[in-house]
Amino acid sequence: MVLKVENGTLCMWRELYDDLERRQAAGGDLEDIPEHASKMAGTVAGIAGSLHVLRHRESGVIPYSISEEDMQSAVAIGRWAIGHALAVAGMMGLEPGQQLAARVIERARKRGVRTFTQRDALRWFRGETAREIDQAIAVLISHGLVTQQVVQTGGRPSRRLAVVEGGQ
């Protein structure tokens, strides 16, 4: 089944999307939690679809267009979730990319990798952006968990990252 987001529901969703994008920019309050914020608009669309199907399941006839009421409820849930993510990140004192940095170093160690590139990390975590991977790498470098070497390849220089043995 394909559900449509159109007219008023599309305007509500687009307003949320634009707000989240603006708040993720440098200096925005969501800059430090891109892992959550960048996926929230899509999550809200999914929630709206789920609410819509649940509302109409008893009748056996599910309209193809998501109602404004369902989208409004989904947007409210999404805004609550972002507020909650900000509160949790604040309590944990996370710097940008810290959660992903822990996953990157853990993956490298589990694979027995001694050196890797940004491209390797992007392959390991297909859902993450180059910006998010760069933030994670910056955290790893600042905490002394990896060292960086720039290698001239004939084209653009390549950054090679070496896992520091015994780094915590």
pLDDT at 34: 81
Stretches where the chain sits below pLDDT 70 are: 27, 90-96, 166-168
Question: What 3-state DSSP class applies to 144?
Answer: coil
8 Å CB contact between 71 and 12: yes
pLDDT at 90: 67
pLDDT at 159: 83
Q: Look at residues 92, 120, 143 and tell me which one is the last residue of a structural domain.
A: 92
Residues 154, 159, 165: CA angle, nearest 5 degrees = 135
Q: Look at residues 41, 65, 92 and tell me which one is the last residue of a structural domain.
A: 92
Number of domains in the chain: 2
pLDDT at 93: 61
Q: How far apart are CA 73 and CA 80, in angstroms?
A: 11
Residues 14 and 49 in one domain: yes
Q: Look at residues 74, 92, 110 and tell me which one is the last residue of a structural domain.
A: 92
pLDDT at 96: 62
Residues 71 and 130 in one domain: no
In a domain, 29, yes or no: yes
8 Å CB contact between 47 and 77: yes
Containing structural domain, residue 131:
98-163
Residues 18 and 85 in one domain: yes
Residues 15 and 88 in one domain: yes
In a domain, 65, yes or no: yes
Q: What is the model's pTM?
A: 0.56
In a domain, 36, yes or no: yes
Residues 44 and 25 in one domain: yes
- Report the CATH number at residue 111: 1.10.10.10
Task: Give the H/E segment covering residue 158.
Answer: strand 158-163
Residues 60 and 135 in one domain: no
Q: How far apart are CA 80 and CA 6, in angstroms?
A: 23
In a domain, 133, yes or no: yes
In a domain, 69, yes or no: yes
Residues 151 and 109 in one domain: yes
Query: Which residues, 6+ apart, have CB-to-CB distance to 36 below 8 Å?
Result: 30, 81, 82, 85
Residues 56 and 30 in one domain: yes
DSSP state of 154: S
